[in-house]
Chains A and B, each alone.
Chain A
Amino acid sequence: MTVRDDVQLDLSYDSVVRRFAPVIGLETHVELGTVSKMFCGCSTEFGAEPNTHTCPVCLGLPGALPVVNAKAIEYTIRIGLALNCSIAEWCRFARKNYFYPDMPKNFQISQYDEPLCVDGHLDVVVEGQTYRVGIERVHMEEDTGKNTHVGGATGRIHGAEYSLVDFNRAGIPLIEIVTKPVEGTGPLAPEVAKAYVTELRDILRSLGVSDVKMEQGSLRCDVNTSLSPIGVSEWGTRTETKNVNSLRSVERAVRSEIIRQAAILDRGGKIKQETRHFQETTGETRSGRSKEEATDYRYFPEPDLVPVAPARDWVAEIRASLPELPAARRTRLKSELGLSTEDLQQMVNAGVVEAVGETVQAGASATEARNWWMGYLAEQANSREVEPTSLPITPAQVARVILLVADGKLSTALARQAVDGVLQTGKDVDAIVAERGLAVVSDTSELTRAADEAIAANPDVADKVRGGKVAAVGALVGAVMKATRGQADAPAVRQILLQQLGVSE
């Protein structure tokens, strides 16, 4: 298409994607949930006192040598297999050389041209359409330490008064999952990007290889975006957006980058190949360092480590031990729970399929599990601006609440209080119920006494009900519920009140 100067171009998203085709690519870093670090025996536990999980190896002291954590290799192979990759028969680590004070050795042990897993794919469904995202590679590396820059306005190293380095994170096993360029998504590029990261996260979670907490940085995502005018097969120059720290941000980052690039291209400008940083507050991306002045990392094979050559029968063993993956589980849940395609899609969109499945597995009914995760829990998540599955409550705990309701031990209102308690304190359901004295009052005589008191205290209302306005009984129910501090079963209270008033429905 040609750009005309005399036309005010429309930079709304809908207009942009009518004129440009986006190509996206994603690089995802995942901290593996191994007990010890990639190359030494130090703990990987999050949140310890700074520099307490360190040793000569992860501090890069003179003379110290790395030794590969076999569990990390196994986890990486699990991931590779789940993403339909080929597992290399022989691969090596490489050194990526650059100076930075969060890297104790001033090189990072990574993989370069010989990754452990290559050439896989992951299918994601968006608006009923399946998109196959090609996986270029899955490789292993070590995480760096964490710098805190003190003083200065930006929190960055420039302008800081001093910097603190915590090496607890240094050497934590990290894998990088790199997609091939994803074409053909059209306007749905942001949704496909989000769906990919969501699906990847769910797979990683079901594999048990990582706690995949984006907010703690155990899942980090860089998004590459480029645009080419519709009808032009050549790809445009891409940018890499970092600091994309939630699923919602993945979608927002792609969307805003598409609009930003379109604005430049519309004016006849050129996209600069660069790293950009996503701004959570504005939803926009901001220029970081330019790729043109990219450092030469002087990669070479890591001479301190022997090559990794996973035996074929070991790989076969790992393949056989893979759990049911989310896609298969969805298909199974759909039929087992009797869900319609729309129901399932709604649950997928809400990101609660896994949670519902696990809640059912823990003994809850499918309908109740779905209602809780799509209803009250979704509301709570929404008000806290997190994903429902990031709420501090487990499917097992939700199932326990559902069972208590089914057994008549909690009313719906009490069940919500119990859930609130878990969310606030992190304690278990039964502990909350016991502590707060949450229990349905099912003693009929007690309820009858409370009903009589409510009738006596509200003669006008009682008369109205007796006079045929049955709906007015609600006020009396409310009074009884209040008197019993919400612990009565509302339908039962209503029955008793009507009975005492001699009214039938």
Chain B
Amino acid sequence: MTQLHELDAASTAAAIASGEVSAIEVTQAHLDRITAVDGDVRAFLHVDTEGALAAANAVDEQRSAGAALGPLAGVPLAMKDVVVTKGLPTTSGSKILEGWVPPYDATVTRRVLDAGIVMLGKTNMDEFAMGSSTENSAYHPTHNPWDLSRVPGGSSGGSAAAVAAFEAPLSIGTDTGGSIRQPAAVTGIVGHKPTYGAVSRYGLIAFSSSLDQAGPFGRTVLDAALLHEVIAGPDPLDSTSIPQPGPDVVAAARQGARGDLAGVRVGVVRELTGAGGGYQQGVLDCFRAAVDTLAGLGAEIVEVSCPNFDYALAAYYLIAPSECSSNLARFDGVRYGLRVGDDGSHSLEEVMSLTREQGFGAEVKRRIMIGTYALSSGYYDAYYGQAQKVRTLIARDFAAAFTAVDVLVSPTSPFVAFGIGERVADPMAMYVNDLCTLPASLAGTPAISVPCGLSDETGPALPVGLQIMAPAMADDRCYRVGAAFEAAYTAANGFILKQISQLGAVR
């Protein structure tokens, strides 16, 4: 018999709803799994055993009372630590927030809890979501379940690893430049960055306000869609929240799973297929095979050019640091979190300065300094202003492409998971991880990453992700094409996560 922690979210919810299993049993199974494997994976920063069991119990009581349950009621979830949770420590992966217990819930948290989803705990991440490997966590690195010596991607590495290691069927990540999609790709799971404004940012500890977006991780496209539906929708607490409801992504995932893509036009982005080098061959091979699979499902494949995508990396590394330099100003030791030097011998300015010196890690400081410089009087136009113009050009490239095609595809990341410590000394080597994911971030458009094969180019067989991008508010297209691809891939190769050779336990 399949163990409870191996079930996907949709099956788990169905089993709970039918009374086959209790939410408590499901939650306990996942807590046991965490106990068994998280010492190796280290996906979690904080496990809330008591809270999770209480939430599961509430679902079981509702069910016995005959109340209607939501589509994911009783299903466990891991929450990225950048999302504020009332009464649960929230650090955003930083020492500067160590010990802070928020007095309020993020809208995402609220919606997850209101849906009867059981929050198991908070997951590890690059400090303030800045990074692509989770090595920038102030607490510890997280290990990739496929190869524990490798990174799980980042910044949502803890959330991705938890799902890939079967510690939770679902998790929440946030994506600023690729922080959901790239970890999903390198851990062999599904991750979706919704349209900017589709999911409320209220209660997400801001990194770059104009780019940050929360989204779902799951082991299947349908699971991701089910979670997407729970967290998305207008929120009066977020001025940038889109006031209209989004498309029906669950229906789109179900439609896609039937495997018919006849009439769907798929654009292969020339600029994101490694023409200029820098992409691993194994990644490109998987990507090409994936495009052939889409063609086999009836999709019409065309090559499109988005010339301004070449400037995405440069623009992103001005806009995100600029916004973060302002967003992170509030961490000064005056009101909450870490305070250093308050011994009567230091002035206010010195206490602020010492707190920030000791509380922030190197990557965070690097970006605060870049951003402070870019916003300075006399440099604003040349840097921040210019980067915003590039952003407009990238959005225009998308708009032009979407007049000819329904979705755009590319590899999610140029690389498979790399070794822990391998890239930490070279920020640029780290930044290029996001090469393929940055354009959709800058344009505010949705994109999903779906596993599309394994590459053993760098050692063991490691997962590769297929990125499917759609126009704003057409997230349903990502799910439809993603689910169709997933069905075809699984039919041909089996469920990808069953090929994880480490951690045992998965059949």
A interface residues with partner B (beta carbon < 8 Å): 56, 59-68, 95, 97, 99, 101, 104-107, 157, 163, 165, 296, 298-300, 303-306
Contacts and interface: CB of A to CB of B under 8 A. Distances in A.
A61 B102 contact: yes
Given A60-B330, A62-B330, A97 B209 contact: no
Nearest to A297: B377
A70 to B, nearest CB: 11
A357 to B, nearest CB: 41
12 contacts: A61-B104, A62-B90, A62-B92, A63-B206, A64-B104, A67-B239, A101-B348, A298-B375, A300-B322, A300-B384, A303-B240, A305-B240
Interface stretch (B9-17, B39-47, B137-145, B331-339): B331-339
B106 interface: yes
Given A97-B375, A298-B372, A63 B106 contact: yes
B334 A95 contact: no
Contacts of A304: 201, 206, 209, 239-240
B410 to A, nearest CB: 26
Contacts of A95: 326
Given A95-B326, A101-B348, A64 B239 contact: no
B376 A298 contact: yes
A104 B238 contact: no
Contacts of A97: 325-326, 329, 375
A64 B239 CA distance: 11
Given A63-B102, A67-B239, A99 B202 contact: no
Contacts, number: 99
A225 B404 CA distance: 62
Contacts of A300: 322-323, 326, 375, 380, 384
Interface of A is mostly: loop
A163 B351 CA distance: 14
Contact of B323 (A62, A104, A303): A303
Given A105-B330, A306-B239, A64 B335 contact: no
Contacts of B210: 303
Given A157-B348, A303-B209, A63 B330 contact: no
B103 interface: yes
Contacts of B103: 56, 61
A65 B375 contact: no
Interface in B231-285: 236-240
Given A97-B375, A157-B348, A298-B376, A65 B326 contact: no
B409 to A, nearest CB: 29
A51 to B, nearest CB: 11
B203 A64 contact: yes
B84 interface: yes
A125 B285 CA distance: 81
A101 B347 CA distance: 12
A107 B97 contact: no
Which one of A97, A106, A303 has the highest number of Cβ atoms from chain B below 10 Å of its Cβ?
A303
B104 A65 contact: no
Which one of A63, A95, A99, A105 has the highest number of Cβ atoms from chain B below 10 Å of its Cβ?
A63
Contact of B329 (A68, A105, A306): A105
A305 B210 CA distance: 10
A65 B239 contact: yes
A93 B348 CA distance: 29
Given A63-B203, A63-B204, A106-B332, A296 B377 contact: yes
Interface in B296-347: 322-323, 325-326, 329-332, 334-336
A303 to B, nearest CB: 4
Interface string B35-71: 0000000000000000000000000000000000000
Interface in B193-224: 201-206, 208-210
Given A61-B336, A62-B206, 10 more contacts: A63-B102, A63-B203, A63-B204, A95-B326, A97-B375, A298-B380, A300-B323, A300-B384, A303-B210, A305-B239
B203 A59 contact: no
Nearest to A96: B326
